[in-house]
Structure 1
Amino acid sequence: MRLLHPLQHLAHWITHRYSHGGSKTRLEHLDGWRGIAISIVLLSHFGPVTQLLPFDRVLLGRLGVDFFFVLSGFLMANILFVKRTPLSIFYKRRVSRIFPVFLFYVVAIYGYGWLFTDAEETKNFLSTLTFMRGYFPLEQDIWRVDLPVSNLWSLNVEEHSYVLLSLLTLIAAFHKREYLPLLALGFAAITIHYLYIRYPHIAIGRYSVRTETAMSHLMISAGYFMLCRKISIRPPGWVVLAVLIGGVWSYTRHAPWFASWLLAPFLLSFAVNHAHRLPRPILGLLRFGPLRLLGIWSYSIYLWQQPYYIWHKHGGWSFSGSAMLLFLLALFTGVVSFNILENPVRRWLNRHW
């Protein structure tokens, strides 16, 4: 505990230094939520899952990404429909936040593919760069590629969803009733997912990572956030915790086969929207400095962990402790990327653009 105390102070100082835009209303527990999301992804890629968890199988990777999705829905709804941020500023902030390090990563990976391999995926550079790789080409989906870009599917979903959210702000009929189209889009995504399962001949490619199905978590979270603006919902902390546990359970093999795409969007959306009401020990964990710091670094880490994960998955190193070494390298690369590229470029663009 004595070691954690100075670490907590150091992390607290760093997180304030890295605060995006210096917002005074920054909700610290949401950084922790993001930190848990990236931790789940890293655990799924580098951790001895079957030894750490009492489950035979857990969809940890998808759980981590869906943690990100519900958080994005919560945040974007506040930015677009409550703060009414002008779309010009909204898009500038999204570009400065996402595109610089994304561009560098894509150019680096495809450049490596062109120069040192005969990877077929190099032909799809433009569709990847324009966040359309989940759709083009369909015959070689983003999870069946010979370059480490399969993790970009979630960025595609988020960017497409942001465009949809921004378009809703232009429809005057939805003003003050944004929860209606948002929840409708979420329900539509779940319905499409079911139809693809029920009638597989109408589904092309890996539909579970395409926007028309995967946006359900984000849209339902955004819609529920706006609904809570109309109706006061104040659940006790233990209810929020129970719902969160239920959301995590939805990704285990003990849950019904439909739980991760039918139940989880509602459970996780409820949990993130009421995360500030979680029991004090859980809320304290979410506000724990090192976890918040991991959340602030999460975007760069999420991008750069993928080459190390692919190397690990295909048995690049087989010695004892190789997974831990690759995990540390992934973490280090992400932190470096954040400090020398993502954060400085974003701050510069936000000041000068």
Structure 2
Amino acid sequence: MTCCWHRSVCWIALRERGRAMNYAKALQAVEQLMMETVESEVEVLRDASRHILAAGGKRMRPRMTLLAYEAVGGTDMDAVLPVAAAVELVHTATLVHDDINDHGLMRRGRQTINAIWGRTFALLTGDFLFTKVYTLMAPYGDLNVIFAQMTSELVEGETLQAAAAKEGKLNREIYARIIAKKTASLFAGAAKLGAKLGNGTPQQVEALYQYGFHLGLAFQIVDDILDLIADSQRLGKTAGLDLAQGKGFAVAVAGNGHGTTVAVAEEPTEDAGAALKRKLLEGNYIQEGRQQARQLAALAKQQLESLPPSAARDELARLTEAAVDREY
């Protein structure tokens, strides 16, 4: 399984060959476990779930869970696989629901569940994916508290974003709250879960939580920039829809604390996104966003200094570089 989503980084190329194989096999096992977990007698739920899972993705969150587990000394990869799979299923469920809200037709280079099966079945598939998380996490006791907290924050972030976009009042402060909750919380939780399961010290657990949090912020800013400058084919989804809905870093910065110039349309169009894109490209928002993302990624990388040297720590460091240098 290869997953080189940036030309300078191959996610499974760890320095120690034996460890690399262990990590690669763990990632493959996560994929298999997710496919098995979404088995259902109701064919549409099974097929729709497998459709989006088979489309792949960067798998940032399960990678962080696996690597955090290893970075604090965890050795039994079988013990962490369900947690890594659960984290990715939560993320996948939110994507399914996002595509309903955004009227998205393409995701990861494929038609969305919404486009193929319709809004009702897409909504139910997203719900189905969420419920499967309980199956995976049932044996993990107190770790479910961490899981519940991060998913609660994720929903809060999505709600804040929808409200700000609808009212046309997105600014820097609101944007910071949104991405902290909707993206950084899941990154931070993914890393913390791995560290806790690997019996990391309190200091190590906190360091990895902060690592994930800052990396999540950086990752989302870059995502928003790419929605502004990348083409749909490269992104694997329709570019510009976030802009049409008054979302994203550039829109927030352009608001300058006074609200944006556009409120979300009930059915956003690419034309609306293109018009806002032209306006935003006149500013310095791309450069500012890239710089902020690099600073946040650097802060994430600094958190790793408290961990003992290991191939897993090195790979976590490389994630910070790839997250901000990516082109899709």
Does TM, normalized by the shorter one, top 0.5? no
Q: What's the TM-score, normalizing by structure 2? A: 0.34
Larger radius of gyration: 1
User: Which structure has more RCO (C-alpha within 8 Å, separation ≥ 6)?
Assistant: 1
Q: What's the TM-score, normalizing by structure 1? A: 0.32
